[in-house]
Amino acid sequence: MLDRIDPRSPTPLYAQIAGRLRSAIAAGDLRPGEPLPSVRQLAAELRVNPATVVQAYRDLETEGFVEMRQGAGTFVREVATERRARERTRVARQLIRTLIADAARAGIPVADLVAAIEHELGAKTS
Amino acid sequence: MSHAITIDGLHYRAGKAFEISDLTLRVPAGAIYGFLGPNGSGKTTTIRLVLGLLRPLAGRICVLDALVPNDVVRVLARTGYVPEQPHLDHTLTVTEAMRFHAAFYPTWDQSWAERLLQDFELDPTQPFGKLSKGQKGKLMMLLALAQRPELLVLDEPTDGLDPVVRRDMLEALLDYVAQHGATVFVSSHLIHELERICDWVAIMDRGNLVSELPMDRFKAGIKRLKVAGAPADLAGLPFKVLARERNGSTESWVVSGWQPDMTAFFERGETTLREIIDLDLEDGFVELLRAARRPVA
């Protein structure tokens, strides 16, 4: 779930890590009460600055997704169903925004884009 | 101590060809600070000055709250150093090299040294001269880490090593930093590696500091802009244009000091902003160096 961070992206690494974890919590892959990897472990695994992981965890704590317990680690909090749904919607919109921007750059009209999405989903009627 | 290293007005000369004139630099305590620059830009010289191995002609160097070179012994006792060229006696075995090194550092952690020896899969009975390049690199990193330093100064520690060795060394380094909060000052040509681990980045060229910024700000501030209706004279722009190139009716600018709200600037004038393209650290590094060498008129 965290193997797709991209150091070359303009999105700071802490924001990428927080984003992946937020999505995992929203999707229910990370369940309430479940511990996140320790800062030390995750920093070594991703080969990033430990301060980057700390910042990602702090951001998630501020947003109410996790809880940092002194000496014990960081744990996923109970997140309301609506909140998780909202988070999924937010991610979905972000994905689409990127898609639309890329399509515009490639000179693809929105109608063609929608048709392509329908085709991929196999949802083409008639 | 807010900074692990501060350098002010540093001046150094080696022969007629190479000079560092008026170098000022700040390494925040606890940072992983990437020190970039082409060959011959003064990275290793700066590192050697910081460690008191060279004497400056003028200027002030303060490391871990002690002045260099006056108080260098106090600095070296708390600093782990991995030099560009490993400098151990070739006849010493790995164990002997460890004992030799440990004798200089009261903070030496023997049990952790032995852990690293296993993690790095080093043979303790091998003489240093018989080790491969990667094994030498790992041993140098082991020695620097097991002395439990407050500051690590790494001069191209993983350059020229294979990816497996680099990964092992970086993991050990980051593990140490996570536990002890040490400051790391690291020079390298492996820009993508630095892009992952550093929270600060500095760029040297021909003995001058071209840029020194937090990594996120560096990357957010350097962009390629596609503009139409560009003026001949670039005076009065809120950002700096490092390079400009004409493609038909549009121009491509590489800019530094960019901020998102600067799009407002294009809404007022005749110049239209068509696109903002992100650059990674390597692109930013190359563009900054080019601009430093021949500024846009």
In a domain, A69, yes or no: yes
In a domain, A114, yes or no: yes
Q: Which residue of A has its CA nearest to B282?
A: A8
How far is residue B84's CA from residue B187's CA, in Å, rounded to a whole number? Answer: 9
ω into B69 cis (within 30 of 0):
yes
Using one digit for the tens of pLDDT, what is the confidence trace for B57-112?
999 999 999 999 999 999 999 999 999 988 899 999 999 999 999 999 999 999 99
A68 and A87 share a domain? no
Residues of A in contact with B191 (CB under 8 A): none
A70 and A92 share a domain? no
Q: What is the CATH number of the domain that holds A17?
A: 1.10.10.10
What's the mean pLDDT in A79-92? 87
For strands B183-187 and B32-36, give the pairing.
parallel
A68 and A117 share a domain? no
How far is residue A93's CA from residue B163's CA, in Å, rounded to a whole number? Answer: 37
How far is residue A123's CA from residue A112's CA, in Å, rounded to a whole number? Answer: 15
Angstrom distances, CA of residue A111 to CA of A100, A115, A117, A118, A122? 11, 6, 10, 11, 16
Using one digit for the tens of pLDDT, what is the confidence trace for B142-192?
999 999 999 999 999 998 899 999 999 999 999 999 999 899 999 999 998
Residue B271 pLDDT: 86
CB atoms within 10 A of CB B128: 20
A22 and A71 share a domain? yes
A45 and A31 share a domain? yes
Whether residue B55 contacts residue B69, with contact meaning beta carbons closer than 8 Å, is answered with: yes
3-class SS of residue B263: helix
What's the mean pLDDT in A23-35? 91
Contact A10/B at CB under 8 A: yes
Of A13, A39, A47, the CB nearest to B167: A47
| Burial class (CB within 10 angstroms; exposed 0-12, middle 13-18, buried 19+) of B40 | middle
A59 and A100 share a domain? no
A53 and A101 share a domain? no
Using one digit for the tens of pLDDT, what is the confidence trace for B247-294?
888 899 999 999 989 988 888 778 889 889 999 999 999 999 988 888
A55 and A17 share a domain? yes
Residue A1 pLDDT: 66
What's the mean pLDDT in A70-81? 89
How far is residue A45's CA from residue B171's CA, in Å, rounded to a whole number? Answer: 7
B178's enclosing H/E stretch is helix B163-180
Q: Where are the beta strands (DSSP E) in chain B?
A: 3-14, 18-28, 32-36, 58-63, 66-68, 79-82, 151-155, 183-187, 200-205, 208-214, 223-228, 240-247, 250-256, 272-278
Would you put residue A109 in left (φ > 0), alpha (ψ -120 to 50) or beta? beta
3-class SS of residue A53: helix
Residue B213 pLDDT: 95
Q: Cβ–Cβ of B177/A43 closer than 8 Å?
A: yes
In a domain, A56, yes or no: yes
In this structure, which amino acid lies at residue B172? A
In a domain, A117, yes or no: yes
A37 and A87 share a domain? no
Count of domains forming chain A: 2
Using one digit for the tens of pLDDT, what is the confidence trace for B31-59?
999 999 998 899 999 999 999 999 999 99
List, in sequence order, every residue forming a beta bridge with B28; answer none if it has no partner.
B3
- Which tokens belong to A4? 């797709």
How far is residue B168's CA from residue B213's CA, in Å, rounded to a whole number? Answer: 28
Domain span holding position A114: 82-121
Please give the order of strands across the beta sheet that includes B223-228: B240-247, B250-256, B223-228, B272-278
In a domain, A51, yes or no: yes
- CA neighbours within 13 Å on the CB side: how many for B116? 30
Contact A104/B at CB under 8 A: no
Q: Which residue of B has its CA nearest to A5?
A: B196
Question: Testing the interface with A: which of B192, B193, B197 to mutate, by most A Cβ within 10 A?
Answer: B197
A63 and A94 share a domain? no
Of B171, B192, B198, the CB nearest to A8: B192
Using one digit for the tens of pLDDT, what is the confidence trace for B183-236?
999 999 999 899 999 999 999 999 999 999 999 999 999 999 999 988 888 888
A72 and A113 share a domain? no
In a domain, A99, yes or no: yes
Is the pTM for the entire model greater than 0.90? Answer: no
In a domain, A2, yes or no: no
A90 and A72 share a domain? no
In a domain, A105, yes or no: yes
Residue A2 pLDDT: 72
3-class SS of residue B46: helix
Nearest 5°: CA angle at B7, between A48 and B137?
Answer: 45
